[in-house]
Structure 1
Amino acid sequence: MTSQETRRGRDETEEERADRMWGELIQEVRVAQTGVQILFGFLLTVVFQQKYAGLPDVDKTIYIVTVFLGASATGALIGPVSLHRLVAGRKVKPEAVRLASKLTQIGLFLLLATMTSSLVLILRVATSGSHVTWFVGVVVAWYLVCWYGLPLWARRRHTTR
């Protein structure tokens, strides 16, 4: 058997592969961007609510950390768009795809941290602090299974060597 016969996958050049991967990455980023932008927009309004002034200092600190995480996630998930605009036509698409992928992975991790922190804050206020750790732990475990566990399992199970 020749290597051509045993090879699986697409028959594409590095540039064609980069074009395809870029399109797929941008579609994925659109989903994450929408979520992080809605969450971040909501977070920005919280400080202007009357109830904010009465929050304990620990909750205000959680809020500030959450806003910082949301801003960071927004930056990382919008970064691939700016990257593409600044390097378009410079014949560096394969490198740009790799860098944009890393930014997206960082953005997703920061989105996870933002959502976790948001849950902590909301549940502390909504439940007077009772059982917050358990509720947040269950939701974060679910996020980890959906965002990392299942994809890594599928990659390991279905990737041919």
Structure 2
Amino acid sequence: MAYIADLRAQVGHRPLILTSASGALIDKAGAVLLQERADTGDWGFPGGYMDYGETFAQTLVREFKEDAGLMVAPVKLLRLQDSDLYTYPNGDQVQPVNAFYLVRLLSRDDYPVKPAETVRTARFPLTGQPPRFFNQQHAAMWTVARDYFRQHRAEIIR
């Protein structure tokens, strides 16, 4: 996050195009792991912005560990999102270019999450009503994850 903080120190709240990665960890019952965000109290998929020099996959692994306390690996790119615009509560404006992955759990070890980013994590059934999301991008990711699970349930159950 130091990269973005340094950048914001120079440009203030001006609109930026930033790259990010996030993931859907779907269990055999069709529930997906989400994080309750500390900044807004809304729900979202674990993930975040790239640090300089990182790949999408490296960002995804790091952010999942920071946001959800879990070690994961990307399995499949589900969607590249680039059409959303968002203004954070502090006034920062972004157009995030997000790589949204299906992920698999590598370790059941719990790592400490960043309390400034995550209040808690919870699983939500993809067959149910989605929670209140952080922004439209996360709502779109819910639809992608739900549709993927419906079409590929047998693969996830293995």
Which structure has more relative contact order (CA 8 Å, sep 6+)? It is: 2
Q: Given the two structures, how large is their TM-score scaled by the length of structure 1?
A: 0.25
* Higher relative helix content: 1
Larger radius of gyration: 1
* Higher relative strand content: 2
Q: Given the two structures, how large is their TM-score scaled by the length of structure 2?
A: 0.25
